[in-house]
Amino acid sequence: MTTESETVLIETEGRSGVITLNRPEALNALTHPMVVRIAEALTAWEDDPAIDHVLLRGAGERGLCAGGDIRAIHADAKAGTTASLGFWRDEYRLNARIARYPKPYVALMDGIVMGGGVGVSAHGSVRIVTERARVAMPETGIGFVPDVGGTYLLSRAPGELGTHLALTGAAVGAADALMCGLADHYVPSDFLDELTRDLAEGQDGASADKVVARYAIPVGPEGPLAAEREWIDRCYAADTVEEIHSRLLGSGLPAAREASRTLHAKSPTALKVTLAALRRARAADSLERVLEQEYRVSAAALSMPDLVEGIRAQVIDKDRCPRWSPGALVQVRAAAVERFFAPLGEGRELTFPAG
């Protein structure tokens, strides 16, 4: 097993500051100490003239990062304690910092990139997906709501694609990740080692963008979402989850009916809060304002029964039969949704400087 001090490897390779998420046995799921260690590395490299850019990668063959350590979150929520709040506070600050980092931040989004993995990669300035990429924000399936700036990113995807992905938790491949604005370049996985070497060598003084451009190729056939834009945009433009569900069922299209079945399995409360969060994020003027909102939502979710039950069903017991409370969309009242967005009180909010 990897020890705590080895869960993130911080190295310099030539002109590159390299961050390797190193919990392959847990699909590189993020813990609080990992978040702190990444932030410390970014601080050390920010003004270091020997470092031209940051490179983020994941250890193992399965993916960059499957998200946060939800077993730890489950234990926290079940015990009624609040350690997760400290984790989220530092994680969301890291997400914002990545988005504003003054040097190129190159993220290798190879394999599984979900939840917190999206947060440490998709806010970067040079985001690379491969043929193995599977990018998702699957939080509604565990009674949670997309966070780590996920509602900001998905609210800015074309049309209602982001609404579809946020509510269903569906994973997308390289082509759809590029179309949705979650990535910038497609590089086949066989080229990643050579790309990493060239970035470290800083050949001919080329910027990280120029080095990556040498390896990036057209992604090939468009992804499945491109062909489904018409019904996705029409169905998910509705103002309520109930109406979205109704439009999906009434569309007569197999893919839309499958999406309705997917929604039926998710937490009704998480679905309604997610839709509200996305609509509010779409109107927000910055990532920071959205992260402040997400922190309120996450803090509220920590004390709600669906988060404990969702993680139990999907990760702990793995029976895949969560008993949501309440169990139906019509039972989730507007006031219950609004409570997720209520102020936390003085000294308890996550705040970023204005502007």
User: So which residues are the catalytic ones?
Assistant: 68, 116, 139, 147
* Side-chain-facing half-sphere of 43: CA atoms under 13 Å: 8
Q: Is the dihedral of CA 261, 263, 267, 272 positive or negative?
A: negative
Structure tokens at 226: 């491109």
Indicate the residue type of 163: T
Q: Please, which residues bridge with residue 151 across strands? A: none
Distance CA 169, CA 144 (A): 11
Q: Are strands 53-58 and 8-13 parallel, antiparallel or unpaired?
A: unpaired
Task: Work out the end-to-end distance of the chain between its first and last CA atoms, rounded to an integer number of angstroms.
Answer: 44
Q: In what order do the strands lie in the sheet with 185-186?
A: 8-13, 16-21, 53-58, 105-109, 126-129, 185-186
Which residue shows structure tokens 């779409």? 282
CA 123 to chain centre: 9
CB 143 within 8 A of CB 324: yes
Dihedral class, residue 27 (left if φ above 0, else alpha if ψ from -120 to 50, else beta): left
Please give the sequence-ordered ranges of beta strands (E in DSSP) within 99-179, or none if there are none.
105-109, 112-114, 126-129, 134-136
Cis status, amide bond into 146, omega within 30 of 0: no
Give the phi and the psi of residue 59 in degrees, each rounded to 5: -80, 155
Nearest residue to 270 via CA among 293, 248, 301, 308: 301
